[in-house]
Chains A and B, each alone.
Chain A
Amino acid sequence: MSAEILAAPSSGIAPVGHYAYDQVDRAFLHDRVEQFRDQVARRLSGTLSEDEFKPLRLMNGLYLQLHAYMLRVAIPYGILDSRQMRELANIARTYDRDYGHFTTRQNIQFNWIRLEDTPDILARLATVDMHAIQTSGNCIRNVTCDQFAGAAADELLDPRVHAEILRQWSTLHPEFSFLPRKFKIAISGSPNDRVAARFHDIGLVAKPGRHGTVFDVFVGGGMGRTPIVGVHLRDNLPEEDLLAYLEAMIRVYNEYGRRDNIYKARIKILVQALGAEGYREKVDAEFAAMDRARYRLPPETVAAIRARFGTPALDAPSDAAERLAGARRADAAFDRWVRTNTHSHRAAGYISAVISLKPDGGIPGDATSAQLDAIADLAERFSFGEIRISHMQNVVLGHVRQDELHALWQELGRAGLASANIGLIGDIIACPGLDYCSLANARSIPIAQKLSARFANPDLQERIGDLQIKISGCINACGHHHAGHIGILGVDKKGEEFFQLTLGGSAASDAAIGQILGPALPEDSTVDAIAHLVDAYLVHRTDGERFLDTYRRLGAALFKDAVYALA
């Protein structure tokens, strides 16, 4: 079966879960690689200055980081197939130092890339229909999506077809490639927000309407130095107006967004300045004035793109659930992993499995090329060759037969990928921080490593329950610290690392921005401080209460004492 799936586009069988390229798409990618090759040549010859080259390389995902260039490869809506994953492993082995890093925006980053190799790397990516287009730069970035899309039991609609439409529409968009600042869109099809829709420049929630798909639209959310929960702009936007309305929204931003100060250039600042009403009026005026026929998204177009998505044939044996239950009874460690690392599936006998990239004491989101290959093999064997990257920096196999879950778990254990900590305190988000990032104030990864080692005991983790720690090495907030139940922000004091704690943030449907607890702490007391917070919570929580809820019920004072009274 898997061989057929992999042979996908030419044999007419599309890869499960994502769009199948055809010759036109491939020719386009080829042209894009050659364009970049030419740009690199112009840079090396000095025709392009660094200043002029920088936005061009950024639009191909190439950053200059602390130690080397970093290449960010797009994983559109977080979905890839085994063949693509193997190529990522190849690139890690051939051009990097044998590992990659999955990001909160469902991309993968390679940290040790050479500029002169980049055109060749992009050419190799293109052989498996992948690219790094618009993974950086002041343009519309990779569109992110729910990691359980098309599988989740609570989903109203699979948003990936629309995510693909947005990917195509935003690719080399003639008007919106030089916006005031970067532009991030997320789309979900579930009422349970797993994409942080309210923390994006535009968040879309797709749902079935009376006459086809409609969208609820959020705008102007974001983190960074001005964290803001997005504004609910409108409900029930009809599918055929989706592109027209987005064009209007972004055109208003392109025209009126600030360009004098990069810290005030995101759309969230514009929406705040105009007020939600003021912004909505301008968008509506633009929407009313534009040639709507030109931008109409007809149902035939949606259908044509949908037809290029493979759908898995879900036919589990009728006793699949029973056999899973039996395996859980027989194996306590497996039972624990199932409790934490799975998500219910819409189809009987199936389940989604989350592969944690957060081993105790490890680097959140990192995977070696051997692990990438192992995941590719397991996806082929257990989940139709389809792999998803979550914004929590983990990997998801979407469609696993329940009776095969135990075998999958055993294989994961052999590859060092069976940590049972999803949603728990060990499931930490951390940005690259000062170990790699040229903008950083402080190191994020070592704090994550120390925390996950400290809370390694799985019983303790389960007892603590749902607790999200998110770490950013500077105020740009790539580690989403504002949205962490406990957020940790690196600050710089005279060249030394300090960490500021925030409590009470959430990226879910109850989106909130964490509040600063008190003065920043030196590196060596930060981990202890978190332990004190956790202790205080365990003492004061009521039955079944999450850390976040205890904090919301009791307020900051108690936690403040826990951290600062002892210091």
Chain B
Amino acid sequence: MPLLENGRIVEDFWTTIGGDELLPPTGPVIVPLDRLEDGLARPAGEKLGVALPPDAEIAVLRAALPRLALVGVTFPTFRDGRAFSQARALREHLDFAGDIRVTGRPLPDQYEFLLRCGVSTVQLPDGADPAVWARAHERFTTAYQPAVRDERAEGFGLRRFLA
């Protein structure tokens, strides 16, 4: 499945590990939350990511976060907007600076929202047209509220320029 970053398709170096798959000893892997301990048991230099289910509180990652290069958040359906809050809390409360990756079934029309909540990459759902996603990122030039990306103020009031 193609990976989108800043409106462009990029190469995906990560391997996503299922609940009962064997964990490779080296290489960047994304483990499910309940296998975080296994992931942390690997050598310290090996890149580790964790996939957070929508009902998890991000506080459970607090201790492990310095070791994590990626946190995955997911949309079981595009209607389930919990991942927006998780991404935003990761950036704002835990100052997470690594990759926040979206999986599941988001809509392209949500792309700008995702970016503004601190998401960095999106694993596009099957059949998604990357051009539609890229367009969604260029659609608006103004936003009306503060967000994680700390965009530059635009004139008066609450407005800011979207990068």
Contact = CB atoms under 8 A, between A and B. Distances in A.
Interface in B29-70: 57
Interface string B53-97: 000010000000000000000000011111011101100110000
Interface in A438-475: none
Give the residue among A138, A173, A255 with the most B Cβ atoms within 10 A. A255
Given A28-B141, A31-B139, 20 more contacts: A24-B155, A25-B142, A27-B141, A27-B142, A35-B109, A42-B132, A169-B145, A171-B144, A173-B145, A174-B114, A174-B117, A174-B143, A175-B84, A175-B88, A175-B117, A178-B80, A251-B89, A255-B86, A259-B80, A294-B150
Interface string A503-518: 0000000000000000
Give the contact-size bracket for chain A. 35 or more
Contacts of A175: 81, 84-85, 88, 113, 117, 147
A536 interface: no
Given A35-B139, A259-B80, A174 B157 contact: no
A68 interface: no
B144 A172 contact: yes
Interface residues of B, number: 40
Contact of A290 (B78, B82, B93): B93
B157 A168 contact: yes
Contacts of A243: 145-146
Interface in B105-130: 107, 109-110, 112-114, 116-117, 129
Contacts of B1: none
Given A38-B135, A178-B79, A251-B85, A168 B142 contact: no
Contacts of A165: 157-158
23 contacts: A24-B159, A25-B142, A27-B142, A28-B140, A28-B144, A42-B132, A56-B109, A165-B157, A168-B145, A168-B158, A168-B159, A174-B84, A174-B147, A175-B85, A177-B84, A179-B81, A243-B145, A243-B146, A255-B57, A290-B93, A291-B92, A301-B157, A307-B156
Contact of A24 (B113, B116, B154): B154
Nearest to A244: B146
Given A27-B142, A31-B140, A177 B81 contact: yes
A360 B150 CA distance: 55
Contacts of B88: 175, 251
Contacts of A307: 156
A254 interface: yes
A interface: dominant SS: helix
A47 B89 CA distance: 33
A305 interface: yes
List 8 tightest A-B contacts by C-beta distance, closest first: A178-B81, A304-B156, A174-B116, A174-B113, A168-B144, A175-B84, A169-B145, A28-B142
B145 A177 contact: no
Given A52-B107, A165-B158, A174 B140 contact: no
A178 B159 contact: no
A170 B146 CA distance: 11
A294 B107 CA distance: 28
A254 B84 contact: yes
A35 B141 CA distance: 13
A171 B142 CA distance: 11
A136 B2 CA distance: 33
Interface string A299-329: 0010011010000000000000000000000
Nearest to A257: B82
A382 interface: no
Contacts of B140: 28, 31-32, 35, 172
A39 interface: yes
Contacts of A27: 141-142
Nearest to A22: B155
Given A24-B159, A56-B109, A174-B117, A169 B144 contact: yes
Interface of A: 22, 24-25, 27-28, 31-32, 34-35, 38-39, 42, 47, 52, 55-56, 138, 165, 168-179, 243, 251, 254-255, 259, 289-291, 294-295, 301, 304-305, 307
A294 B146 contact: yes
Nearest to B135: A38
Nearest to B161: A24
A55 B78 CA distance: 10
Contacts of A301: 156-158
Nearest to A297: B158
A491 to B, nearest CB: 29
B7 to A, nearest CB: 16
Contacts of A179: 81
Nearest to B93: A289
A289 B155 CA distance: 29
A254 B85 CA distance: 7
A254 B82 contact: yes
Nearest to A28: B142
A24 B156 CA distance: 10
A22 B157 CA distance: 12
B89 to A, nearest CB: 8
Nearest to A54: B79
A178 B110 contact: yes
A290 B148 CA distance: 11
A294 B88 CA distance: 13
Nearest to B150: A294
Contacts of B145: 168-171, 173-174, 243
B79 A138 contact: yes
Contacts of A176: 81, 84
B113 to A, nearest CB: 4
Contacts of B139: 31, 34-35
A173 B148 CA distance: 12
A168 to B, nearest CB: 4
A246 to B, nearest CB: 10
A240 B81 CA distance: 27
B144 A255 contact: no
Given A173-B145, A174-B112, A175-B88, A254 B81 contact: yes
Contacts of A259: 79-80, 82
A52 B117 CA distance: 22
